[in-house]
Structure 1
């Protein structure tokens, strides 16, 4: 039993909000219908080790049950006792420092078996949450909203968000992506762009012009980075994240629940309609000449059996 998780769940029951966990429950554990916790929907199965959003929490007989969502779909209720609580944090643009990076064993424990050195090398990633495993902090890194793996904080280079207007020389090398794979053509004249992100350890800068982003070496910019520092290197829980994310997600969650309710109501109506049609067909058949003959045969057989 994960006491760290249970302590968190006690707090959330007292002050409800949505949160995330990495499911670490028995694969044979039941998932119950979202509108009826007495009706078994399926077993946990492939949802084990998945990152899910818990949109509602109930405590019954000293056990916690969470209504969870995965891949945009509301799945159902299941018991939470051994899962990993995911702490929200300030969103960071990050790159992995491959000179120090070693794949943490927790990745294979939760089924991430790909070569993370190849998968994460030179990639621009997003860190927006973390877990604590045996007193060790591991950040969840994402690429286009897809979880890639769990990385120690010390192995990450963090981008510093800026909003500074800079003049870019037309003949300076610029690239489409942060890994400098695709070079952009030179321009005939200098132009202005907004500096939006700076990686001090990588001499890397991201700029935008008219909604289009490009990358270049920070040292090629006529900008003084001497006074630019990250706000804090300490990774800590951002309590405001709960409520900001909740406001963003509440509408889609409610729409999902409403849609599911309407679907169930339609299924009930369809079932009622089928029953009415079956009853009508039965009455028509029973009152037909063939039906009357068949009823007499059944009655004769019944008397003979007695």
Structure 2
């Protein structure tokens, strides 16, 4: 381990504590969603946040970006949004009587990209994000442009306004490391929201970590060991989704990779240098809930994907 990585590793608990404290200045409650969003970033994956309107999905992403000192851009997805509006376009400049082609980067050229209400964009525009999400690069015309690191797509959608939307295809959903649900606040949390946003001045946050430290934390996360029996448990879990009653299509190998990486990131956030069974249990839901497709009969009976994941975990004693 290099001297720089060793320094970041020794300060990791303090960095994570400062991050949470700063995010909590703006976001009330939502502890599980905040933890899972940080897990996604430390593990180097993209995240899809889903909740009913008004539960601070966009605010959480913007606050996290501000606290991490990373470049941030926002794409407000609408049906008329075009791929070039995301990736950028080639412009012709007239210089000294001649013409020169110049590439004008789009909002995807940032560290954290918020794709707000991603399911309102057309399938053609949604597909423009695929190369960026998987390969961290963008191809425009016959040229390929590398994206700056770290790079994350943090997308939002709400499940109740489906008119005029385009559900994400399974191939694109599979590229999100986590699907994060945000819940309604409790009575005490909502009272605190009223206190914070109707009486006091709106809270401000400041960067608590640098871009270089984020990259170092991602490298350190991968070095956290995981026992062989837990690796086998992950594979058994993913295999079970492909043969479980009521599941039409199970999770891909990308789910196995994602579950181990996210479990490592959760252990790292909690100050442990090993992965526990609890890490796998907790992270199985956001890793798998968007990667399994239920059959018609299961959906007719009202079975949810989280219920299926819970039943499989129980059967495997995880």
Q: What is the TM-score when the length of structure 1 is the normalising length?
A: 0.21
Greater fraction helix: 2
Larger Rg: 1
Greater fraction strand: 1
Q: Looking at both structures, which has the greater relative contact order when contacts are Cα pairs under 8 Å and sequence separation is at least 6? A: 2
